[in-house]
Every structure is written in structure tokens, then in C-alpha cells.
Amino acid sequence: MSDRKLLLITFDYELFLGDKSGSVRDCLILPTDRLIDILDMQGIKSYFFVDTVYLNRLKEVSNDHPSARRDLEEITTQLIRVVKSGHEIHPHIHSHWNDAIYDSENNDWSLKNKRYYSFASLPGELRNNFFGQSLDIIRSILERAGSVQAVDSYRAGGWTIQPFENFRPLFIQHGIKHEWSVMPGKYQISDAHSFDFRNAPSQYPVYRFDRDPCRIDEKGPFKEWTISSLTMNRYEKWLDFKISGLLHRMGKRPAFKGNTVSSVILEQGDSQSEGGHRRQMASFEGLNPFTIKKYISAIKKSGYFHFISHPKMLSKFEFLMVIKFLKKLNRKFEIKTDFRNS
Ligand SMILES: [Zn+2]
């Protein structure tokens, strides 16, 4: 077997999405600057899915609030740096930003209102507006960075890519050809949003589709780049949990920065976890010496691995682990990180 691996390193560039969004400096600027330094040092290209409806709301309030204006300037400058360093930016829509309330005193947001958490719950007109505006925002940043990168990829906020009929005409109209939201086997139904990827194929990590991102259609106009997972048995899961607890007590876990969205989960699971085995989303979050080993052996067996992480979630310790992990990967394998030349 060849040691050539396609490694997709992706980030959701966003604040927290609950009743306290956290600050731009702590959730975006500082961790993303650190990430770019690390990725550039290791020669790794990555993909940032930018919470575009948030940027639109930020722009709105920045007319009246200097601290919001500064945030917007810092974000724009950072994303230009991201692009100039050779990484890609694409839209990521969390539509409940529509109802977010700006707290000017603390320069923070509350996203308590979840009626539009799911893209499907938006009125048709808002769906069109949000999608079009998102593409405009990404394109204007690319233009300022002097980049000719195609804006042809999308990851749904909260993985709410279903029903796909809401997206299909927008994908076609705006030239989106690549979809990055499906983790085969996973499903969740909550009072805020739902996704169900139980029918997605498990044998092919990348496939073409047309009307349903969980169904292969070789003539389909879109390509699905599925999210990878790490499988652990009961003992490994326990060990990882213990290591996490230890790191937490040593103060090496992320400090509080904001609140995640609170929702009532009605049903969730994973059709590909059997017996004592459990799968977790491939991510830099929670990376430790034990999971690094597990990832290396999983990547050894597979020619494709797709990670999702959030800059806001990463701790100092995890950054050190990311460096260690990427160095190891570069030593052991021939890593390809550009999905366009794969
Ligand atoms: Zn997100």
C-alpha cells in the first residue's frame, strides 16, 4: 500500500453559538494566528469554513460601535492572511445569527433564539439572501487578498445540510460543487436542529451525489468529502477519558471562552458503532499522546482522513499536540493536503 495520504484539515471559523458568544480576540484571532503559524511551518494547506452570517451582523452593528468595527477589521485582516498563506476560505452558515442580540457593553452576542438554528427552518427568501451574501463576503475577502481561489465548497452549520432540496438550487446558482458536512452513520434530532447520515455510504469516503448527499450518484454534479472518525474500544475510550480528566485537573484544558448552543437532544446515535466500539469525529480538539497514536494507525490504514476543528476550542496544550502530530505525520507519510489535486 502506498504511503500517500490525502489529509483534509478543516476549521469552522466561528464564535460560540449560545447565550455568550465569547470575544473575537480569544475565539478567533489568537488561536487562528497560532494555527496558521503551525500549519505553515509544517507545509500543510487547510480549509476555513467562515461563519458568514455572523460577519454580516457584525458589519451591521459596526457602524454604531467602535469595538465591533475593530473586531470586523481584525477578522478581515486575519482572513486575508489565511488566504495569502495558501489556505482556502469557504462559507459556513449558522442561520440563527439572524436573531442574535448584540451586547454593546461587553462587545459580546447572545444567540439564545434558536428558531432558525436549522437552515431548513428559514423562510425561503432568507435562505436565498443568506447564501448569496455569504458568497459575496468570501469573494470580497479573496479579492482583497488578491486570490483567484474558487468558492466552490460548503459546510453546513450544525451539519444541517438536510433536506438537501433547500440547498440544491443555491449550490447550482452559486457554483458550489463540494459538500463537507456528512459523517456517515451519525444522526441527531434535537429541538434546535437535526441531521441523519445513517444512509451515507461507509465504503467510499469521497463520492459524487445529486439530490441526496447520503446517496452515491456517479453522474451527480456535487462531490461529498465525508468527515472521518476515530474508532475506540471500551478500554481505549476509558483511557482517553482518564487522560482528558487528568489534563483538565492540570489546567491544560481550554479555559471558558463562551457558551455553546443549548439544545434538548431527542435522539442521537451512530449506526456504525457496534458493540463496545465508539467513533468520535476526527479533530484536533482533545488531542493527546494517546489519541495521536490512534490517529497515526488509523491514517496508516486509510488513504483519506478529514479532520474538523474549531480554533475557539483549542488549548495551549492541544496546540503543542498538533505540532507533534503534524511532525509525525510528515515523517511517516507522503501527505497531500490539497483536495483539488488529489
Ligand atoms: Zn459551525
Cα separation, 172 vs 184, whole angstroms: 24
Torsion of CA 314, 317, 321, 324, to 10 degrees: 130
Q: Which residues pair with 208 in a beta bridge?
A: 223
Per-residue pLDDT, averaged over 173-198, amounts to 94
pLDDT tens profile 121-162: 999 999 999 999 999 999 999 999 999 999 999 999 999 999
Distance between Cα 312 and ligand 1 center (Å)? 11
Residue 309, pLDDT > 90, answer yes
Contact 305, 294 (CB under 8 A): no
C-alpha distances (whole Å) from 181 to each of 97, 148, 157, 218 are: 19, 24, 8, 19
Between residues 55 and 249, the one the model is more confident about: 55
Residue 47, pLDDT > 80, answer yes
pLDDT tens profile 77-93: 999 999 999 999 999 99
pLDDT at residue 245, as a whole number: 85
Provide the grid cell at 305. Answer: 482522513
Distance between Cα 256 and ligand 1 center (Å)? 18
Q: What letter represents residue 290's amino acid? A: F
Residue 2, pLDDT > 70, answer no
Distance between Cα 94 and ligand 1 center (Å)? 6
Distance between Cα 92 and ligand 1 center (Å)? 7
Residue 330, pLDDT > 90, answer yes
Give the residue from 57, 48, 33, 26 showing the smallest Cα distance to 309.
Answer: 48
pLDDT at residue 93, as a whole number: 96
Cα separation, 285 vs 114, whole angstroms: 25
pLDDT at residue 275, as a whole number: 73
Query: b/e per residue, 230-266, with b = 16+ CB within 10 A?
Result: bebeeebeebbeeebeebeeeebbbeebbbebeeeee
Distance between Cα 30 and ligand 1 center (Å)? 18
Distance between Cα 11 and ligand 1 center (Å)? 9
Confidence (pTM): 0.95
Band the pLDDT of 193: cuts 50, 70, 90. Answer: confident
Distance between Cα 264 and ligand 1 center (Å)? 18
Distance between Cα 318 and ligand 1 center (Å)? 20
Per-residue pLDDT, averaged over 46-70, amounts to 97
Per-residue pLDDT, averaged over 104-131, amounts to 92
What rounded mean pLDDT belongs to the chain?
Answer: 93
pLDDT tens profile 248-294: 788 777 777 888 877 788 888 888 887 778 899 999 999 999 999 99
Give the residue from 8, 12, 2, 9 showing the smallest Cα distance to 54.
Answer: 12
3-state helix, strand, coil in the chain (%, to 5): 40, 20, 35
Indicate left, alpha or beta for 139 from its phi (over 0: left) and psi (-120 to 50: alpha).
Answer: alpha
Contact 9, 46 (CB under 8 A): yes
Distance between Cα 17 and ligand 1 center (Å)? 8
pLDDT at residue 1, as a whole number: 46
Per-residue pLDDT, averaged over 171-175, amounts to 97
